Structure 1
Amino acid sequence: MDTKKSFIRISDDDKGYSLDQFCVPKHYEQDLDHVLIPAGLIHDRTERLARDIVADFGSEAIVGLCILKGGYKFFTDLLDKIQVLNRNSGQSVQLAVDFIRLKSYVNDSSTGSIEVIGGDNLHNLR
């Protein structure tokens, strides 16, 4: 399968789904108009991405690099799905994890440069 074509397109003018089609927490009801991407679709696409990564890397080791803080939840969901594939498939992929933060603001002004904070050994990513 050509993984370069396995994407879902959501147009800019897509209105999403009516709230009455979902269980929406009470504290969000007044703030939402619609659901653009249902959680189940996000979880399924994350699982598909995990499968594609494992297939593409074959027996090569994978180094997962999480850019904190915004990427943490997606990153852990993706790693969980890769680990499930490791447990339940005929092959096992070695998986290492590292975390970095990117900083480009001081107070509310951009510095114009990006500072990388953390990361045990970023040379492993080459």
Structure 2
Amino acid sequence: MTEPREDTRTHRGVVIPDNWPGYCLDLFTYPEYYSGDLDCVYIPHGVIMDRTERLARDIMDDLGDHDIAVLCVLKGGHQFCSDLVDRIQVLNRHSSRSLPMTVDFIRLKSYLNDHSMPDIQVIGAESLSVLAGKNVLIVEAIVDTGKTLQTVLTQVQACKPKLIKVAG
């Protein structure tokens, strides 16, 4: 009997072992002002952009022709969100179908004068009412403990969107 094949859509993605030394700096060019600060490169920019394009394709496949409201969590999510939206727009231009998008921004504040606050403040939450009945894609740079993401999810769910997906 053969083993069942793993579904690639549920795969964890790129896995970097804890003891992996990274790529040698001699393989890359980087600004001189980083000289002495870098030991290695763990994930080259090209790999990140390739994964971003794959994610854009997955979003297009999942949402079909349904419009989407992208909610970018600032400040950290800005560049990733920009790259992801750009990739979706390129795919839209080269596709027979289209995924209409709007992009909105919120910012989370969990520190006051370098001290962590017990509650996370959502700046820009007053404009979230436009998400009612829409497909929402929350774009976050890093999901660590999940505390900030849970706060955003609670705020967005209160607006009663049709669907919520998270990219981070």
Extract unaligned runs of 5+ from structure 1: none
Count residues with an aligned counterpart.
126
Q: Secondary structure at the residue paired with 1:47?
A: helix
Computed over aligned residues only, the root mean square deviation of the Cα atoms, in angstroms, reads: 1.5
**Correspondence 1:11-30 to 2 at 5 A:** 11-30=17-36
Q: Which residue of 1 aligns with 2:104?
A: 98
Cα shift at 1:122:
4.3
1:121 aligned to 120, 124, 128, which one?
A: 128
Matches for 1:20-59 after TM superposition, within 5 Å? 20-59=26-65
Q: TM-score normalized by structure 2?
A: 0.71
Residue by residue over 1:16-49, the C-alpha shift from the partner in whole angstroms, topping out at 9 and shown as x without a partner, is 1000011121111211010010000001000000
Q: 2:67 aligns with which of 31, 53, 61?
A: 61
Structure 1 range deviating more: 62-71 or 113-122? 113-122
Q: Partners of 2:21 and 2:120 in 1: how far apart? A: 35
Whichever residue aligns with residue 68 of structure 2, its letter is I
Counterparts of 1:17 and 1:67, CA distance in 2: 30
Question: 1:51 and 1:33, CA in 2 relative to 1: closer, same or farther beyond 3 A?
Answer: same
Unpaired runs of 5+ residues, structure 2, are 1-6, 137-160, 162-168
Alpha-carbon deviation of 1:121?
2.3
1:3 aligns with 2:12: no
1:9 CA displacement: 0.8
